Amino acid sequence: MKHMPRVLIVEDEPAIAELISVNLRHNGFSPIWAEDGDAAQRELDAVLPDVILLDWMLPGQSGLVLARKWRLDPRTKPVPILMLTARGDESDKVAGLDAGADDYITKPFSTQEMMARIRSVLRRRTPERVDDSVVISGLSLDAGSYRVTWQGQAMKIGPTEFKLLHFLMKHAERVHSRGQLLDKVWGDHVFIEERTVDVHIKRLREALGAAGAMIETVRGAGYRLSAQAITTPEQV
């Protein structure tokens, strides 16, 4: 039997949850509904879903708080999160992405849009057949073991940032525009704004600590990973 991807819907409004569930089932997904953070946590503890649809406005812990919490938990960290939000403000979208959401959908949304975005995050999470490793100036990335180390120390890095770093390291010293990065790293950017790249670059730099300096912003052009941007102890 074909795998039916499990979608955990964290939504306090039964009518919306029901509507989403019906559409998901109709499209070959297996929906699970949780009405708040506690119920969602119980579902996550039992079985990990393939994707989480997370409402921003929830009783108790907000979607933002939950996204942050699930991103910090190593078990739930790899599960993509799509934020559902009635807010359209750019600052709110960025806050959602900063909290660890992979994408957001602004209410009201169409079924087609929701399905496209779910498929898009699922595609992005599908592991690539890459077993190679790249080393640049003390920064090492091993795609096979999904590990990033800086001067021998393991770094904690999110899935999207990992893909982004992998691409930048494999094509180091070259400038990539935001559009190119969306193409190469995200693959399907029909609904993704170029601003999203900036959010993930920021997250990547933070995750890399001192090595984050290797990722340069090239004004008016995009981003570049450069060994010259950093002085490693070996070179001192």
List residues binding Ca ion (CB under 5 A). Answer: 12, 55, 57
Nearer to Ca ion, 34 or 157 (CB): 34
Nearer to Ca ion, 56 or 186 (CB): 56
Confirm if 198 and 192 have CB atoms less than 8 A apart.
Answer: no
Nearer to Ca ion, 57 or 115 (CB): 57
Q: What minimum distance in Å lies between the beta carbon of 56 and Ca ion?
A: 7
Confirm if 83 and 111 have CB atoms less than 8 A apart.
Answer: no
Nearer to Ca ion, 55 or 161 (CB): 55
Q: What minimum distance in Å lies between the beta carbon of 36 and Ca ion?
A: 10
Buried residues in 154-188 as b, exposed as e (16+ CB within 10 A): ebebbbbbbbbbbbbbbebeeebebebbbeebbee
Q: What minimum distance in Å lies between the beta carbon of 55 and Ca ion?
A: 4
Q: What minimum distance in Å lies between the beta carbon of 166 and Ca ion?
A: 36
Q: What minimum distance in Å lies between the beta carbon of 42 and Ca ion?
A: 19
Instruction: Please tell me the distance from the alpha carbon of residue 121 to that of residue 49, in angstroms, as a whole number.
Output: 13
Q: What minimum distance in Å lies between the beta carbon of 57 and Ca ion?
A: 4
Structure tokens, 77: 């960290």
Q: What minimum distance in Å lies between the beta carbon of 207 and Ca ion?
A: 31
Nearer to Ca ion, 39 or 172 (CB): 39
The runs of H, that is alpha helices, within 73-129 are 90-98, 111-125
Instruction: Please tell me the distance from the alpha carbon of residue 126 to that of residue 12, in angstroms, as a whole number.
Output: 29
Instruction: Please tell me the distance from the alpha carbon of residue 109 to that of residue 40, in angstroms, as a whole number.
Output: 22
Nearer to Ca ion, 107 or 171 (CB): 107
The partner residues of 33 in beta bridges, in order of sequence, read 9
DSSP 60-78: SS-HHHHHHHHHHSTTTTT
Nearer to Ca ion, 16 or 192 (CB): 16
Q: How far is CA 197 from CA 31, 46, 193, in A?
A: 30, 33, 8
Structure tokens, 170: 């494999």
